[in-house]
Amino acid sequence: MSTPYRKWVCISCFFVYDEALGLPKHGIAPGTRFEDLPEDWVCPECGSPKSYFELQVA
């Protein structure tokens, strides 16, 4: 069984990357896992690097 989709929150601006939704407007397909985003991907809202995201805990 595949891992459920998760949400990742930017610790700079609180933008949430939802793996289920992806970011189609930015060319990221729904279902794209956070770890599969390119290493140079940055927060679409504030520009912080991937290292500034952490798993959102419910």
Partner 1 sequence: MSETYDYYSDEFQSDPAATYQRMRERCPVHKSDTWGWYSLFRYADIQKVISDNETYSVRKGPGPIDTEGNPGILVATDPPQHMLEKRLVGRVFNLSLMESFEPGLRKYVAGLLYDLAPAGRCDLIVDVAEPVPLWIICQLLDVDFERWGRKMREWVYVLAGAVFSQDRDMGSEVLEAATGLRGFLEPIVDAALAKRASGEAPGRGLIDQLAAAEVEGMRLNKDQLMGFGNFVVIAGSGTTTNSIGNFFAAMVDHPDQFALLKQCPELLPNAVEEVIRFYAPVPGLFRTNNKPVTLGGVDIPVDSKICVMWGSGNRDPELFERPNEFDITRDLEELKRKNLSFGGGIHRCMGAPLSRMEIRVVVEEWLKRIPEFREYEPRVRYPHATLIGDDHLYLEWEAAGR
Q: CB nearer to partner 1: give 1 or 40.
A: 40
Helix (H, G, I), strand (E, B) or coil at 8: strand
Helix (H, G, I), strand (E, B) or coil at 24: helix
The answer to whether 50 and 39 are in contact (CB under 8 A) is: yes
The answer to whether 56 and 19 are in contact (CB under 8 A) is: no
Task: Choose, by CB under 8 A, the member of 8, 19, 45, 58 that binds partner 1.
Answer: 45
CB of 37 to partner 1, least distance (A): 17
Contacts of partner 1 in 21-40 (CB under 8 A) = none
Binding site for partner 1 (CB under 8 A): 9, 11-14, 42, 44-49, 51-52, 54
